[in-house]
Amino acid sequence: MRLLNVCDLKIPALTLCCRRRRSVRGLPYLQARTTMMRHVQTQAENPPFPVPHNDYYFEDGNLVILVENTLFKVFRSTFIRHSAVFRDLFNLPRPIGGATEGSDDDHPLQFSGTSAVDFERLLWILYPGNCGAWRAGTIEEWTSILSLATRWEFNDIRDLAIRQLQTLHGVSPVDKVILAREYEISGRWVLSAYMALCERPEPLSIPEASRLGLETSMRIAQLREQLRASLRKSSRIGGYHSLTQSAAVRHASIASSILASAGKRSPTERQQWGIGKSFLYQCDVPAPAPVRTSHQRSVARKGATAIPGTARLVAEAFGIDIAG
C-alpha cells in the first residue's frame, strides 16, 4: 500500500490560497504602476502654467483674458466700445464678496472654444502697431478675424474684414461662396463668384461639389444648363438676324446709289426711275439709324448692362441682394 504525500494532494482551497499569495506578492508592483499612470494622466489633464503674451499683455491694462494657455491683459473700454456682447457682459451685476473675473492673473476671464492665434489676430485690429497698416494679409487671417468679430458682434471690425476679403486676389469662387454663406455676406462680390461657377466651361469638380453641398451644387448645375440652352437659342436667332440685317443694308446701299445718280438721267430714264422708285419704297428696307455720339453710345451700353439677364437670373436663384 502506497503512502500518499500531502504535497501530491491538489486541494482546491490550498491552490486558491497559493494563488492569492502570489497575487499579494505582486501587489506592490501593481500599486506602483497604477500610481505612475495616475500621475501621467494628471499631468495631461492639468495644463502648464499660463504664460503672458509677448505683445498684448499691457501692464496698465485692466482686463485679463485667458485663451488656451496664454494670458492677455488689455483694456476693458476697448471691448465695451466695439462689441455689443462685451458691453452687455460688463453691465451684468458683479458677485459680492468674490473676485471679479478678469481682474487679475489669478482670476482671468476665460474663453473656451477659441484659439489664442485667432484672438491675437483680433487684437491686431483693436491695437494696431502701425497706423493705417493691417498685419493681416491672407484669407486665413482675415477669415479668423471675421469669425470672432461676427461671434462677439464687433460690427465695425466685421465690416472691415469683409471689405479686406473682397480686395484679396486669388480667392477662388468656391471660397467666396462658402465665406458668404457662413458669414451672411451678400452683394456683387458673392454674385460674381456664383456667376463664375455657372459660366465657366468646366463643371464643378467632386471636391468643389463636396465643399459646396448638394443643394448649391444642384442649383449651379441647373443654371449652367439653363444658360447654355439660352446661349444656343440666342446664337441661332442672332445668326438669322445678322443675315437679314446684312441683306437690308445691301438693299439700302443700292437704293442710295440709285438716288444719288437720279438727277443725271434723261427724262425717259427719270420716268422709268420713278416707276422703279415707287416699287422700291414698297419693300421692307429699314431706314438708316441716326448717328449717335460716343457719349450717347457709352451711356446706352451702361444702361443695358447695369443688371444683365444672367446676373439677375443667378441672383434670384441664390437669393442675393444685387444692390449690396
In this structure, the answer to whether residues 139 and 203 fall within a common structural domain is no
What is the torsional sign of CA 151, 155, 161, 167? positive
In this structure, the answer to whether residues 11 and 84 fall within a common structural domain is no
Scan for cell 487684437, then name that residue.
123
> 314 CB contacts (<8 Å, ≥6 apart)?
191, 194, 195, 198, 223, 320
Whole-angstrom distance, CA of residue 158 vs CA of residue 125: 11
Q: Is the pTM of this model over 0.85?
A: no
Q: What is the pLDDT of residue 321?
A: 83
Per-residue confidence band for 221, with pLDDT thresholds at 50, 70 and 90: very high
Per-residue confidence band for 28, with pLDDT thresholds at 50, 70 and 90: very low
> Is it the case that residue 77 has pLDDT exceeding 70?
yes
Q: What is the pLDDT of residue 17?
A: 42
Cell, residue 214? 448638394
At 274, phi and psi to the nearest 5? -60, -40
Q: Is 197 buried (19+), middle (13-18) or exposed (0-12) by CB count in 10 A?
A: buried
In this structure, the answer to whether residues 210 and 318 fall within a common structural domain is yes
Across the range 128-154, mean pLDDT stands at 92
Whole-angstrom distance, CA of residue 124 vs CA of residue 130: 10
Q: Is residue 83 part of a domain?
A: yes
Q: Is residue 207 part of a domain?
A: yes
| 3-class secondary structure, 152 | coil
Q: What is the pLDDT of residue 100?
A: 86
State the chain's mean pLDDT as an integer: 75
In this structure, the answer to whether residues 322 and 190 fall within a common structural domain is yes
Helix (H) or strand (E) holding 64: strand 63-67
In this structure, the answer to whether residues 35 and 85 fall within a common structural domain is no
- Which pLDDT tens digit goes with each residue over 147-198? 999 999 999 999 999 999 999 999 999 999 999 999 999 999 999 999 999 9
Q: In angstroms, what CA-CA distances link 146 with 111, 157, 170, 193?
A: 17, 7, 18, 19
In this structure, the answer to whether residues 209 and 80 fall within a common structural domain is no
Q: Is residue 254 part of a domain?
A: no
Q: What is the pLDDT of residue 180?
A: 95
Q: Is residue 294 part of a domain?
A: no
Share of the chain above pLDDT 70, in %: 62
Q: Is residue 276 part of a domain?
A: no
For 192, other C-beta atoms within 10 Å of its C-beta total 15
> 7 CB contacts (<8 Å, ≥6 apart)?
none
Across the range 266-284, mean pLDDT stands at 48
- Which pLDDT tens digit goes with each residue over 89-130? 999 888 787 778 999 999 999 998 999 999 999 999 999 987
In this structure, the answer to whether residues 144 and 206 fall within a common structural domain is no
Q: What is the pLDDT of residue 232?
A: 79
Q: What is the pLDDT of residue 268?
A: 54
Across the range 53-60, mean pLDDT stands at 96
Whole-angstrom distance, CA of residue 322 vs CA of residue 187: 5
In this structure, the answer to whether residues 184 and 224 fall within a common structural domain is yes
If one compares 29 and 78, the residue with the highest pLDDT of the two is: 78
- Closest among 73, 109, 116 to 92, alpha carbons compared: 109
In this structure, the answer to whether residues 53 and 38 fall within a common structural domain is no
| 3-class secondary structure, 53 | strand
Q: What is the pLDDT of residue 257?
A: 56
In this structure, the answer to whether residues 64 and 134 fall within a common structural domain is yes
Torsion of CA 35, 37, 40, 43, to 10 degrees: -60
Q: What is the pLDDT of residue 264?
A: 54
> 48 CB contacts (<8 Å, ≥6 apart)?
69
Per-residue confidence band for 34, with pLDDT thresholds at 50, 70 and 90: very low
Q: Is residue 258 part of a domain?
A: no
Least confident of 173-177, 190-194, 299-303, 316-320: 299-303
Across the range 73-94, mean pLDDT stands at 94
Helix (H) or strand (E) holding 297: helix 294-304
In this structure, the answer to whether residues 16 and 35 fall within a common structural domain is yes
Find the CATH number of the domain harbouring 63.
3.30.710.10
In this structure, the answer to whether residues 180 and 225 fall within a common structural domain is yes
Q: Are strands 51-57 and 70-74 parallel, antiparallel or unpaired?
A: parallel
Q: Is residue 70 part of a domain?
A: yes
Specify the number of domains making up the chain.
Answer: 3
Domain ranges, residue 68: 49-91+99-153
Q: Is residue 252 part of a domain?
A: no
> Is it the case that residue 74 has pLDDT exceeding 50?
yes
Q: Is 93 buried (19+), middle (13-18) or exposed (0-12) by CB count in 10 A?
A: exposed
For 15, other C-beta atoms within 10 Å of its C-beta total 10
If one compares 174 and 232, the residue with the highest pLDDT of the two is: 174
